[in-house]
Structure 1
């Protein structure tokens, strides 16, 4: 337990300093950073070799973690949902939402996390960028050793553990009801 706390504390320190971390989510391994730090987000995009035209997912432990970017009516709607599996909701975002989070769209993808290291990090830090730990277009990494080997040199902290699954979260557009990823 002490080792777990040390890793969480190290990751929180890295996040507060503008760092990029890897951590197990309830779905797959994730890369994360402070969504308000454009330099940290740019690092995540560079590590993944991901286009800045693609938006990012934010995770939070509490619905209020998203209030800077999402209108209250959508937050209430998300909170009322009880999906059977981890689900990311694409919602209209506030006009003040940074373009580095939206990819230039008027929507933002958010997911509440309820368990595991991702939930603990979000509970203690607030909302985090959370994108799969892999190069864009490549297979998602499923083991800690893969994360260390392929991405470790670019990361400021890694929280050990086991993801809750082997595939990314379901993504649903709340305005259309369309499932964008299942």
Structure 2
């Protein structure tokens, strides 16, 4: 796992795009602060850049680096969740401009899965995480379901957890508004 993390980080530091296992489904990822790398992910997914993508971080502390003001309720949600939870925050900062939604928000998930957590920790920045499929196609649950088109489009395919057969689910998504209002986007 260590070698794979080093290789993936090297590729992302050079502006490359990776295919990697996350705490949910396999993801296409890159440096979340690199506008050109984010643009490539949109191109690979054949997705309009008006459709936002989320980022992964390895620790709740890192959320503060990418959000102007984290609502207090977010800390409780992060601490109490028992499954992967993406929270959409207003006031995104320190990220590639094309990663931030038109309303200034960004989705961030604190990952607790071993590989993606160590990847984010070693990379020392947020990592884009979007499902490994062309936009509009079904999201592949496991590596073998990822199309050759996607595998061939990225700069590096992580050689870890490729043989898993379980069917992980996408994360829950909650949007936190001003004044602590909570809107459930996906359970």
Please tell me the TM-score bracket, short chain as reference: 0.7 to 0.9
Q: Specify the SS of the correspondent of 1:140.
A: coil
For the Cα contact (< 8 Å) 1:25–1:163, is it kept in 2?
Answer: no
Counterpart of 2:60 in structure 1 is 63
Q: Following superposition of structure 1 onto structure 2, how do residues 147-158 of structure 1 map, counting pairs within 5 Å?
A: 147=146, 149-158=148-157
Q: Specify the SS of the correspondent of 1:178.
A: strand
Structure 1 residue 112, shift from structure 2 partner: 0.3
Counterpart of 2:97 in structure 1 is 99
For the Cα contact (< 8 Å) 2:88–2:108, is it kept in 1?
Answer: yes
Q: 1:16 to 1:155 in 2, by over 3 A?
A: same
Q: Specify the SS of the correspondent of 2:8.
A: helix
Task: State the Cα deviation string for residues 70-121 of structure 1 (Å, max 9, x = none).
Answer: 02443x5433321121110011124665431123222111110012211110
Separation of aligned partners in 1, 2:10 and 2:93: 30
- Alignment partner for residue 172 of structure 1, among 154, 171, 174? 174
Separation of aligned partners in 2, 1:165 and 1:11: 24
Separation of aligned partners in 1, 2:64 and 2:105: 14
Confirm or deny that 1:181 pairs with 2:183.
no
Counterpart of 1:32 in structure 2 is 29
Which consecutive residues of structure 1, in runs of 5 or more, have no partner in the other structure? Answer: none
Q: 1:143 to 1:29 in 2, by over 3 A?
A: same
TM-score by length of 1: 0.87
Counterpart of 2:19 in structure 1 is 22
Which consecutive residues of structure 2, in runs of 5 or more, have no partner in the other structure? Answer: none
Task: State the Cα deviation string for residues 34-90 of structure 1 (Å, max 9, x = none).
Answer: 01111100010000011111111011001233334202443x543332112111001
Counterpart of 1:109 in structure 2 is 107
TM-score by length of 2: 0.85
Q: Specify the SS of the correspondent of 1:114.
A: coil
Counterpart of 1:78 in structure 2 is 74
Counterpart of 1:41 in structure 2 is 38
For the Cα contact (< 8 Å) 2:5–2:119, is it kept in 1?
Answer: yes
